A = this chain, B = another copy of it.
Amino acid sequence: MQVSELGEFGLIDLLAKMVSKPQDKQLIIGIGDDAAAWHGDTSTQLATVDSLIEGVHFTLGTVSWNELGWKALAVNLSDIAAMGGVPRYALVSLALPGHTEVDDVTDLYRGMIELAQQFGVAIVGGDTSSAPVVAITITILGSTKSQGKHILTRSTAKPGEKIAVTGYLGAAASGSEMLAKRLQFDPEATACFRRAFLHPYPRIAEGQILVEQGVKTAIDISDGLISDLNHICKASQVGARIEADRVPIEPKVKAKFGDRALELALSGGEDYELLFTGSAEVIDKVRTAVSCPITVVGEIIADKTGKITLVDRKGKSLNLGRGGWEHFATR
């Protein structure tokens, strides 16, 4: 059945039933009124929104609806992770062509709900409308773990601090390229790249550990390491030096993309790892506390122009190339 046959209100009823009654004791009203409502508290509140648009962020031929639902939520949860917060509620604005299959929409919601449940996030509202292409806009509301906890920002990096990153980079961009160009790899690499690009796992737990271990500055890698580091440098009015050899490139990216692996890791984006700064001691404490790899990739330097340099093992400057993903940019 197509959504045009079911109608808007039928679709909303169906999705509201899937979301079910959340267990959240603070929630007063979920889906089904003019707005969601919950009991407020005095922790620091967080809110972020991000859209995935067909033909821009994804192609329906290469992504399943389930993966799409997961990813649409994951990229938003990642922004809460980058603040060191706890995600709590999600609002989902869904734009769909009338000929979309209802089963596809429920698959989309299944992907979203699967991830939401892992982090105790309740889908409490949203809207649906017809549109020429699919667009999924998710708002996440979150908070600090408790009153008095600080948040991670982009504007607090200090010269002398080390720059570190969680996990490995480059696999998501490899997945994007693999799907766009229909590249063929062995099953293991194919699965790794696809999972990284379409099924990213937001670093929520790690973001909270960063806060607990005293980190002040973080961002999630959505546009690419260089581009996202640039946001930190601009907001903090500092420069940065990245050592190319230290960048934790996903081994399968090195194996399959050779010379281009570094570019994919630095500029590909969408890895949704956390990029953060701190003293060597703080970073060591983080390394002990988390279960994922933590790699120091460079250092914050005093430079109000916000310049980022990329150097090789011998300190020789390398060309940065394209900085990262930017919408509307004509390259």
A89 proximal to B (CB < 8 A): yes
CB distance from A225 to the nearest CB of B (A): 15
The digit string for A28-41, where 1 denotes a CB below 8 A from any CB of B, is: 11001111111111
Report the contact-size class of chain A (Cβ under 8 Å from the partner): 35 or more
Interface centre among A5, A50, A124 (most CB of B within 10 A): A50
Q: How far is the CA of A28 from the CA of B139 in the complex (A)?
A: 19
CB-CB under 8 A from A139, the residues of chain B are 47, 49, 91, 139
A170 proximal to B (CB < 8 A): no
CB-CB under 8 A from A130, the residues of chain B are 53, 56, 327-328
Q: Of B29, B126, B219, which contacts A34 at CB under 8 A?
A: B219
Q: Of B9, B83, B96, B124, which contacts A37 at CB under 8 A?
A: B83
CB-CB under 8 A from A39, the residues of chain B are 42, 44-45
- Which of A149-157, A253-261, A291-299 faces chain B? A149-157
CB-CB under 8 A from A200, the residues of chain B are none
A189 proximal to B (CB < 8 A): no
CB-CB under 8 A from A330, the residues of chain B are 4-5, 98
A48 proximal to B (CB < 8 A): yes
The digit string for A113-152, where 1 denotes a CB below 8 A from any CB of B, is: 0000000000011111111110101011111000000010
| 9 A-B interface contacts by CB (under 8 A) | A7-B328, A8-B326, A11-B328, A33-B153, A40-B143, A49-B92, A49-B127, A98-B330, A131-B133
For the complex of A and B, 6 pairs with smallest distance between CB atoms: A8-B327, A35-B48, A34-B82, A34-B79, A139-B139, A137-B137
